[in-house]
Amino acid sequence: MSAALSAHWATFATIFFSMILVNNYVLVQFLGICPFLGVSKKADSSVGMGLAVIFVMVLATAVTFPIQIFLLDQYDMMYMQTIIFILVIAVLVQLIEIILKRYIPALYRSLGVYLPLITTNCCVLGVTILAVQDYSADVATFGFGIAFAEALICAAGAGVGFLVAMLLFCGVRQRVECANPPESFKGLPITLVAAAITSMSFMGFGGLVENIISAIS
């Protein structure tokens, strides 16, 4: 198993870093725009939201990926995917909330407020569906262990990418607040234009990760 894992490290690294930079969920794939615009006003709330999203994304993928492979694919029930995934996420978020409140109250106080918002956050449902789409074929070629690891790394990368985008944009936004745009652009419109420029900077990462990893290995 460990030999198989070490043979796949380059793939894992490529997945992780390209999820952060090249396929950034917020700025490139437009998932989770609402929290991105809503919560990115202050640095501490963006960090809190980002950490909560990473946490829920990894857990949700860890639960939904086996469900897809061993239940839905096995019994030919692909069409139930959307319903089952959203229910699993909703239950999971509630469960995490109850467990955190009971056993780790310190963490609950910092992340708790963001958890209910995550149920209806499209990036969580998006990452579970995309992970299944991209990596369920690997079950046949590399076995379930490797495919599952790939899906989890993809989820973690997507979450970290969300956090990075939130933090970067939070900095941009504090500058935008001080600026004096035309009357009609005040508030949300100028924020969206600023997001466009931030997104443009992420376009520069295209093809970067694959080249670096292949150069190293």
Sites for other proteins among residues 22-81 (CB under 8 A): 27-38, 41, 79-81
Q: Which of 13, 63, 107, 129 binds other proteins (CB under 8 A)?
A: 129
Q: Sign (positive/negative) of CA torsion 26, 206, 152, 132?
A: positive
Of residues 109 and 217, the one with the C-beta less far from other proteins:
109
* Count of residues that bind other proteins according to CB under 8 A: 54
Give the DSSP per-residue string, 135-151: HTTHHHHH-HHHHHHHH
Of residues 33 and 63, the one with the C-beta less far from other proteins:
33
Within 10 A of 106 (CB to CB), how many other CB atoms are there? 8
Of residues 2 and 180, the one with the C-beta less far from other proteins:
180
Tokens of 161: 């990418």
14 lies in the site for other proteins, by CB under 8 A: no
Q: Which of 125, 152, 168, 209 binds other proteins (CB under 8 A)?
A: 125
Q: Which of 133, 174, 214, 217 binds other proteins (CB under 8 A)?
A: 133
Structure-derived torsion over alpha carbons of residues 157, 128, 51, 49, reported in degrees to the nearest 10: 120
Cα separation of 205 and 172, whole Å?
19
What values do phi and psi take at 190, rounded to 5?
Answer: -70, -30
165-194 mask for other proteins (x: CB under 8 A)? -----------------xxxxxxxxxxxx-
195 lies in the site for other proteins, by CB under 8 A: yes
- Are the CB atoms for 27 and 55 separated by under 8 Å? no
Cα separation of 125 and 121, whole Å?
7
Question: Which residue ranges make up the site for other proteins (CB under 8 A)?
Answer: 27-38, 41, 79-83, 86-87, 90, 94, 97, 113, 116-117, 119-122, 125-126, 129-130, 133, 182-193, 195-197, 199-200, 202-203
